[in-house]
């Protein structure tokens, strides 16, 4: 769910929000909401016995089996910030090209 939101919304947020810091903040807020919802759903499934997101582990360490989930969502978060940056760069490039066309007239 988080990966889908990142692919669908990160680039448009970078394109539509003029201020880069504002775009980063908007992406972080959307990601936080979806991440919280997804984590809640996964924990509810885990308490019902599902082991897809959090596999069973015989290790006494609490985080030993869920570090993969943390690593995956961290990479998705960083990719999202990269897409926001790309969208902001494309917005600036498109604006710069539009100004060049106006000067040639």
Q: What is the pLDDT of residues 43-70, one digit of tens each?
A: 888 788 877 766 666 666 656 666 777 8
Query: Is residue 45 one of the residues assigned to a domain?
Result: yes
Q: Please, are residues 35 and 105 in contact by the beta-carbon 8 Å criterion?
A: no
pLDDT value for 75: 93
Is residue 83 over pLDDT 90? yes
Query: Is residue 61 one of the residues assigned to a domain?
Result: no
Q: Please, are residues 74 and 85 in contact by the beta-carbon 8 Å criterion?
A: no
pTM of the predicted protein model = 0.76
Is residue 3 over pLDDT 80? yes
Query: Is residue 23 one of the residues assigned to a domain?
Result: yes
Query: Is residue 59 one of the residues assigned to a domain?
Result: no
Confidence of residue 100 (pLDDT cuts 50, 70, 90): low
- If one compares 20 and 63, the residue with the highest pLDDT of the two is 20
Domain range holding 21?
2-50+67-92
Q: What is the DSSP string of 18-80?
A: SSHHHHHHHHHHHHHHHHHHHHHHHHHHHHTT--SSS-----S-SSTTTHHHHHHHHHHHHHH
């Amino acid at each position: 769910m988080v990966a889908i939101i990142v692919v669908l919304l990160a680039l448009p947020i970078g394109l539509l929000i003029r201020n880069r810091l504002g775009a980063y903040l908007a992406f972080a807020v959307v990601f936080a909401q979806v991440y919280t919802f997804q984590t809640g759903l996964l924990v509810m499934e885990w308490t019902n016995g599902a082991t897809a997101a959090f596999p069973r582990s015989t290790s006494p360490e609490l985080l030993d089996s869920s570090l993969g989930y943390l690593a995956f969502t961290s990479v998705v978060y960083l990719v999202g910030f990269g897409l926001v940056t790309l969208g902001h760069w494309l917005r600036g490039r498109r604006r710069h090209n539009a100004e060049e066309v106006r000067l040639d007239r």
